[in-house]
Amino acid sequence: TVALVLVQQGMAYAQLAGLPVVYGLYASFVPVIIASLWGSSSQLHTGPVAMLSLMSAAALIPFATPGSTTFIELSVMLALMVGVLRLALGALSLGAIVNLLSSPVIVGFTNAAALIIGLSQLSKVIGVPFPRTESYLADLWRVVAQIPEAHLLTAAFATGAWLLIAGLRKIKPNLPGVLIAVVLATVLSAIVGYERKTTVDLEQINDAREVTTLRAYRDARDRMSEITAELASLAQQADAAEREGGIEAISHAATMRAPLAALEYELDGIKKNVTRLQVELHAMTLLGVEDDTRGIRFYSSNTLPDGTAPDGRRWRVDGIAGNQVTLSAGGDVVGNIPQGLPSLQVPTLHWDLVWGLLPAAMVMALIGFMEATSISKAIATKTGDRVDTNRELIGQGLANIAGSFFNSYTVSGSFSRSAVAARMGATTGLFAIVSALAVVLVLLFFTSYLYHLPQAVLAVIVMMAVFSLIRVRPLVQAWKVDRIGALIG
């Protein structure tokens, strides 16, 4: 049962981290085994978790484009950094620091993270873009404002998956509702042709406004990539100059850092422009018309020539590279997942970014440990087990370090999977090893069968998992006892 949850959550949380879904499966293999062998809790399941996936993406987006090679390398490097920090904390017997956190603080932190993570999936549930800026509430409002542009079939898949999973939990709780929903959605998606995409030349779009917006969007994205690369290069050169030492070298480094503020200001403006253009493009729909002489042409409803018969589909822009435009008349699916196990390799270290990522790594190390410890202690109160926080820190640290050598991103103890393990009566760490071996089987033999799995279904799985963690009663009880502590939570 835990293995079934692990596979679906691994794929869903990888996307939350800005990574291809296969990296969620990589993170569900080696780290799970290492943590189960070294950890102190017999029911704690380590692997991809929603909170750290979101934090990993947030930490790395300023340095690389999500899904890019550099972004993947930085995700793996960040896992290594988090692992080293946790291992050091455990070796120094600093696990007791988690005891300094009051219950209202932990509950409040968990509730806030669950809301942020869950609502961030709303765009996938209704099939609209989620433009990411520095203001989460503004981004969420943009998604809500796009509800009239929702893709109905995407929303139908999401609603159906939610009803099926929730219904089976009440009617037949012993059945694997998540697995059943995933299998049915995947099969149905393949049958109805849920994913429907085509790539056309920009000249095939006969709508001046759409073409102008597309070109502006393409140019803005290209400029954003240029500035990001320029910022990384300047920062790297400045760091190298500072390491040389001496007044002259430090002065040279300061000179190189001078343009950074202006570039960052320009980048911020371009990001806002890209966000606006992305929403505008999604609101525009095109109709395809077969042309005997020029192939298929695409028109808006206002520019459609009289007497022409469109193909009956409503096409939207999915992306643009050069003059090649990808159009979609369906929903998003998981797509191709590389088959095979991750290879053993030394993580690529971007030394120029280590100091820049260190604060995020420290926060992730502490928050991930807090998450793992809180669920371990919650289960221990029911089972009577003793939780050794220092040993748990060492186990979590080793899991991240070992995982980084197998293309894993940052992992930690999972609330939902640990709760499932406890409910199913797990008494040793063997259950976690079995779940990791199940992931191995998926990577070796079953990745091709996941191609048509709708992204909306994965989003629903994430939302149901994190919203179930929200607890209000402990904060109400804390208010009656300690109002200051409750306010902090």
Statement: residue 472 has pLDDT above 90: no
pLDDT in tens, 384-403: 667 777 888 899 999 999 99
pLDDT of residue 352: 80
Residue 288 CA to residue 304 CA, distance in Å, equals 9
Q: Give residue 29's pLDDT band: very low, low, confident or very high (50, 70, 90).
A: very high
Cα separations (Å) of 102 from 189, 487, 488? Answer: 46, 12, 9
Higher pLDDT, 416 or 348: 348
pLDDT of residue 216: 95
pLDDT of residue 211: 92
Closest by Cα among 2, 3, 1 to 443: 3
Q: Give residue 168's pLDDT band: very low, low, confident or very high (50, 70, 90).
A: very high
Low-confidence winner among 164-168, 213-217, 457-461 (lowest mean pLDDT): 457-461
pLDDT in tens, 188-236: 999 999 999 899 999 889 888 899 999 999 999 999 888 888 887 887 7
pLDDT of residue 361: 92
Whether this prediction's pTM lies above 0.85 is answered by no
pLDDT in tens, 296-343: 889 887 888 887 888 888 898 888 888 999 999 889 898 888 889 999
454 bridge partner residues: 333
Statement: residue 370 has pLDDT above 90: no
Statement: residue 383 has pLDDT above 70: no
Residue 189 in tokens: 């998606």
pLDDT in tens, 405-415: 999 999 998 87
pLDDT of residue 346: 94
Q: Give residue 461's pLDDT band: very low, low, confident or very high (50, 70, 90).
A: confident
Q: Give residue 480's pLDDT band: very low, low, confident or very high (50, 70, 90).
A: low
Higher pLDDT, 406 or 376: 406
pLDDT of residue 26: 95
Low-confidence winner among 6-10, 27-31, 274-278, 370-374 (lowest mean pLDDT): 370-374
pLDDT in tens, 103-158: 666 677 667 767 777 788 888 899 888 776 667 788 888 888 888 888 899 999 99
**199: how many CB neighbours lie within 10 A of its CB?**
12
Per-residue pLDDT, averaged over 247-265, amounts to: 78
Q: What is the mean pLDDT of the chain?
A: 83
Torsion sign, CA atoms 157, 162, 165, 167: negative
Statement: residue 172 has pLDDT above 70: yes
